[in-house]
Structure 1
C-alpha cells in the first residue's frame, strides 16, 4: 500500500525546530506493507482523513525517521481480530484517531490503517466520511480535557439540565478552535454554563455551538470583564496553550484547575493548579516525544476509558444532536491534497474550518 512516511534524521529535525521552520519536505509517499493486526485491532480501508497541526509538526520536527503520519480517519472495516470481531464486522463504517507520527505501521495518511477496536466508533449512514473524520483528535482531546476537570461522563452521556441544581460555569479558552467547539458542546450537555474566549470573527461561531458568553482573548481587559460577570469559575480548559493563554485562564479563576494541551510549566497563582494532557496516553503504550530528548508519557488506563466511553456512545449523541462536527472544508483527492492541506495549516491559514481530504 501507499502511505506518508517521514525520512528526516534527528539532527535535521532539531535544526528545523531551532529555526522555527522546516528544511525541505520531511515526508514522502512510500510503498509499504499493509499492517498486520492483533486480536484487539481492526484493519481499516481509509476513505477520509482530517488534518491537524500536529501532523505537520510531526513531519517537520517531532517524528523519528520512517514513521507513518496522520491521526484522524474515517473508513470501512477490512478485517477484524478475534476480540475486535465481537464488536466489528467487515464492511462497518468506522472512524476515530490513532497515534500517528511515532510508529512505522500506525498512521492514517495511508490506504490501510490498523486501529484499536475499542477506540473507534461506528459511523451512521447519514454522516459523510469527511464529517466522521473530524471527530478524531479534537473531539477526543475535548472529552479528555473535561474528564481532567472532573466533569463526569455520566452527566455528558445522560445530559444534565440547570434545573437539576446550581449551574456551574466553565471557561473554555479558544472556543472557536476545533477542540473548543467540541468542548463547548460536551460541557453544555453536562449542564455547565460556558464562557469562551475567541477572536471577534469567531464570536458567532462559538455561540452557535452553545457558548453562553464570548470574550476577546486578545485584550487583557477581558480578564476583568469575565471575573466581574462570572466571579465563581473554578474550571478552565485552555484549547490554545501558547503564549499567555494559561496565565489568562488562571487569572480568571477564583481557585481551581486549568487544563492545558501543552506543558505550560508550574502555576503562578495560589489555589490554581495546571494539568497538562496528551491525548495519545489513551493508547496504552508508554512513549517519548522527540526521542531521545523529549518528555516520556506513561500509560494512563483512565484516559483510555474516557475515550472508549465517548466513542462507544458517540453515535447516540449524534442522533440527539448533541455533538455536531466543526465546520469542515472537504477536498476530494489523495496524498497530494494532504500535503497541500498541511501546507495551508503550516502557514497559519484555514482558521475557522476543519480541513479534510476524502479519497477518490
Structure 2
C-alpha cells in the first residue's frame, strides 16, 4: 500500500528542535510503498477514506518521528478485516473512525491506504455523519475527554444529565476557536459548566455557537484582568494553545481562587502560588509506552486508565453524536490525497488555519 512516512534523520530533527520548529531541515515526508498492515485478533483493518490534519502531525514530521514511521492520527474509513476477538463488535463493511498514534511506528498511522487499530479504540460512524465530519472526533475530541473528564473530573458527556453540583461551576478554556477548544467548550457545556474562553474577534461568534458563555480577545494586554473582573470564581482552566503567554494567562485567571491548569504542551513560564499545572497528551490513551526522539528523548509509560477512558468515549460516541450533545467542528475538505496532506501540514506549520479542521479525502 502507499503511505506517507517520515524521512528526517536524528540530526536534522534535533536541529529543528533547537530552532523551535521555525525552520525545517532535511527531507520531509515521502509517499512510498510499504507493507499492508497485518492485524492481531484484537484489531480491525480499515481502508482509509478521509483523514484530518493536526499540528501534532507536522511536529512529528519535523522533530519526533523516526525515519520510516507512518504519519497521521485521525481517520475515517471502511472495515475490511476483523480480528477474531473483534468480531463481537465489528464486521467487514462497517464504517469506522478514530485516532491512532501516528508518526511513531512503521505499521500504524492514518496517512496510508490502510491502517490497523485496536477494535475498541475506534467508533461506529452513524449513517448521518460524513467521513469528513467523523475524522474530527480524533485527537482534538479525545484530548478534551482526557483533560476534562479524566483529569478535571467533569461529568462524562451523554452518560447523565448535569448534576446540581456542576450547575454554576465555571471553567476557562484558552484558545476556544482551536479544534481542541471547540470540543472542550462542548463537553464542558454538556457537563453543566459556564464556559469562559478566548478567541480573536472574528471567531467570537463561532465559539459562542459551540456553547461558550463569555469570550475575550486573547490579544488584549488586560485579558486576564478582564476575565477575573467578570468571572472571579474560576478554579479550572485548560490551555488549548500552550504557547507564548497562554499558560501564564491561565494561571493569572486562577490566581484569586487557586486551582488547576491543564496544558497540552510543557509549561516553562512562572508558576502562580496555589495553582497547579498538569501536562496531558492524547497518546497516553493508546495504552502503550512510547519514546520520542529515541534513543535520547523522553519516555512515557502506558496509562491503562487513560486507555479505558478512550474506549469508554468511543463506545458511547455514536449515541452522543445522534443526540446532538457533541457535533463535529467546521471542516475544509480537499480530495487530493497525499499531496494535499503535505500542503495542509505546511499551512498548519505556518499558522494559516483558524476555526476549522483540514480534512483530506482519498
TM-score interval for Structure 1 and Structure 2 normalised by the shorter chain: over 0.9
CA change 1:165–1:116 in 2 (3 A) is closer
Paired position in structure 1 for 2:316: 313
Alpha-carbon distance in 1 for matches of 2:67, 2:104: 9
Equivalent position SS for 1:285: coil
Alpha-carbon distance in 2 for matches of 1:219, 1:157: 38
**TM-score of the two chains, using structure 1 as the length reference:** 0.96
Aligned 8 A contact 1:29 1:335 in 2:
yes
Alpha-carbon distance in 1 for matches of 2:277, 2:165: 29
Paired position in structure 2 for 1:191: 192
Paired position in structure 1 for 2:236: 235
Count of equivalent residues: 357
Counterparts of residues 195-206 of structure 1 (less than 5 Å): 195-206=196-207
Q: Give 5+ residue unaligned stretches, structure 2.
A: none
Q: Give 5+ residue unaligned stretches, structure 1.
A: none
Paired position in structure 2 for 1:260: 263
Paired position in structure 2 for 1:176: 177
The list of structure 1 runs, each at least 4 consecutive aligned residues, that deviate by more than 3 angstroms after superposition, is: 163-166
Q: How far off its partner does 1:267 sit? A: 6.2
* Matching of residue 221 in structure 1 with residue 195 in structure 2: no
* Matching of residue 358 in structure 1 with residue 323 in structure 2: no
Aligned equivalent of 1:89, options 88, 91, 96: 91
**TM-score of the two chains, using structure 2 as the length reference:** 0.95
Q: How far off its partner does 1:266 sit? A: 7.7
Aligned 8 A contact 1:72 1:136 in 2:
yes
* Matching of residue 142 in structure 1 with residue 149 in structure 2: no
Aligned equivalent of 1:297, options 291, 296, 300: 300
Of residues 68-77 and 317-326 in structure 1, the stretch that sits farther from structure 2 once superposed is 317-326
Q: How far off its partner does 1:166 sit? A: 4.0
Aligned 8 A contact 2:41 2:86 in 1:
yes
Paired position in structure 2 for 1:33: 35
Q: How far off its partner does 1:292 sit? A: 2.3
CA change 1:164–1:7 in 2 (3 A) is closer
Alpha-carbon distance in 1 for matches of 2:165, 2:228: 25
Q: How far off its partner does 1:71 sit? A: 0.4
Alpha-carbon distance in 1 for matches of 2:264, 2:134: 23
Q: How far off its partner does 1:333 sit? A: 2.3
Counterparts of residues 108-123 of structure 1 (less than 5 Å): 108-123=110-125
Alpha-carbon distance in 2 for matches of 1:68, 1:165: 42
Aligned 8 A contact 1:156 1:186 in 2:
no
Q: How far off its partner does 1:23 sit? A: 2.0
Aligned 8 A contact 2:69 2:103 in 1:
yes
Counterparts of residues 47-86 of structure 1 (less than 5 Å): 47-86=49-88
Alpha-carbon distance in 2 for matches of 1:5, 1:343: 16
